[in-house]
Amino acid sequence: MEYRILERTQLKLPVITFGAWAAGGWMWGGNDRKEAMEAIRASYDAGVTAIDTAPIYGQGLSEEITGEAIRGIPRDRVQVLTKFGLRWDAASGEFYFNSKDNAGNDIAIYKYSGKESIIRECEDSLRRLGTDYIDLYQIHWPDVTTPISESMEAVEQLIRQGKVRYAGVCNYSAAQMAEAEKTIALASNQVPYSMVKRDIEADVVPYCLEHHKGILAYSPLQRGLLTGKMKPGHVFAPGDHRSGMYHFSEENIRRTNTFLEKIRPIAADKKATLGQLVLRWTSDQPGITVALAGARNAAQAVENAGAASLKITAEEMTFINKALQELVLVK
């Protein structure tokens, strides 16, 4: 496994970090708790020593599964990354969207990062995770109802108390990062980034490079689209959020697969899967520190971890990028 240190911190993260959204089942058509834990443990055995989770993933379930999966591993050998600021149990802040929990009950999701809410969320996360500190604590989404300074002051307090090691943000613009840094030193920004979603290259990547901030790229496989395993006509399980995304229209699946076939020989030459090649491409892009990759079972986890051992030559990178220029998805 290849590891990268978040600049100006002591966090050494695997270039492929485990993303535990699907482990919670929520918005992924449910989950298998046993398989989710096996995926996390197999990932760790393959050198993936960091897990990114959040309270909203299964309304606490992902954090509980993460905590159970890492029980028995010396705490200083695993990095736990979690979040705050998406509430399903209190109607406060900015309404985000309506959803259903894993039991099929209606829930309303709010973006809220008031100080007292963050303090409470941290205590709940520590309990579910079975730990006394969080390595990287990240605001999940910007909250327009709360001053950024108030949210960051709460995290700074948690750092002083030893409950959090470093502060991060998710889905922040460069301007929002700059505002947050008036209060606290940020370690990173977790943002969506993939071969077919590259808008952060305009402002977030330049800002992070200039100010020595890490970028944790989530959805690098575009939620499965870039694995090459999806075919036109794919039917998602009930409750799977991908069914309504334009990326997964029949036409876009067809266009994406045409692109993937162009680069398949590169993967084959390396005895790698398309997914592994895509993950390695992602982690090799300027400014990207790690790629977050989820897995529903142990086999997927091991496959994802294997991407770290790939090497893409300059010539191969040029070929891939040229082929990418010809891929246009229909919105």
Q: Kindly list the catalytic residues.
A: 57
120: left (phi over 0), alpha (psi -120 to 50) or beta: alpha
Closest CA to 189 of 290, 274, 278, 283: 290
Measured CA to CA, the distance from residue 190 to residue 10 in angstroms comes to 18
Query: Could you tell me which residues are beta bridge partners of residue 169?
Result: 139, 189
Residue ranges with strand state E in 219-324: 290-293
| Kind and range of the H or E run holding 63 | helix 61-70
3-state class (DSSP) for residue 294: coil
3-state class (DSSP) for residue 80: strand
Question: Cβ(290)–Cβ(284) under 8 Å?
Answer: no
What's the count of helices (H) and strands (E) in the chain, helices before strands? 10, 13
Closest CA to 220 of 276, 284, 293, 289: 293
Give the pair of three-digit tokens for residue 202.
């305009």
